Each structure stands twice: as structure tokens, then as C-alpha cells.
Amino acid sequence: MANQMGDASEGRPSGKGKPLNSIEHKRSKSAKTWIKKELAQQQKRFKKILQNMEDLTPKRNKWYAEFLETVSTRGTNIDGDTRAVVAKQDLPKPPRKKHRVTYEAKDLKGFDH
């Protein structure tokens, strides 16, 4: 199977060893303008989504806490009426880093369009 460096599948002639996205494509001025506008709109949408996800953080933390409380008291359904209770010490610890639901708009910068 071909990899990202342009190597060919077994039995097929090999490429030049360049990454697959290194193919030169000619674009018209109008296409370049459209891509630039589209990227700006996408970044604006991503910022809005990111803000909505950030605003949801307290609720999300509450949902996590409720879920962990449920699995440590009532347990989870395994089969039919059989339940498995997870011991409190076996529950995962909350991560130190910030919860990340979506990629930030800054992550799109440098993305080769």
C-alpha cells in the first residue's frame, strides 16, 4: 500500500518520493479569491463553535460527574439484568489539560489549501 511519501504499492513503479500533496496545481485568480474567502468564513465558524463548546464546559463537567457517580453506585448494564459496579478508586481521574471538543481556528493556519 502506498504511504504518504509517494511510494508506490508493491509491484507498481515508484513515484519521485515527494509527499502526495506536493503536486503543483494551477488555480485561477477567482479560485484563489474564493478559497481565501471560504477559509475566512470557516475560521469564523470554527471560532463560534469553539466558543459554544467553551460555554458548555460547566454542563459537560456536570454530565461527566453524574455519569461517573452512576457507574460507581448503580453500575453499568452488562447483559440483561446483570450490572457491573465500578469501584470509586477505579474511576478515571479528570485530565489536567483543558477539554478540547473541536480544533481551534488557529489550527487551520498553515493548512495547505
Please give the Cα distance from 106 to 90 (Å, whole number): 37
- Supply 59's cell numbers: 454542563
- What's the one-letter identity of residue 100? R
- What's the one-letter identity of residue 3? N
Q: Spell out the domain ranges in the chain.
A: 28-104
- Supply 100's cell numbers: 478540547
Please give the Cα distance from 106 to 77 (Å, whole number): 41
Residues facing residue 79 across a β-bridge: 82
What was the pLDDT predicted at 20?
Answer: 64
Q: What's the full length of the chain, in residues?
A: 113
Q: What is the pLDDT of residues 37-86, one digit of tens each?
A: 999 998 888 888 888 888 988 999 999 999 999 999 999 898 988 999 99
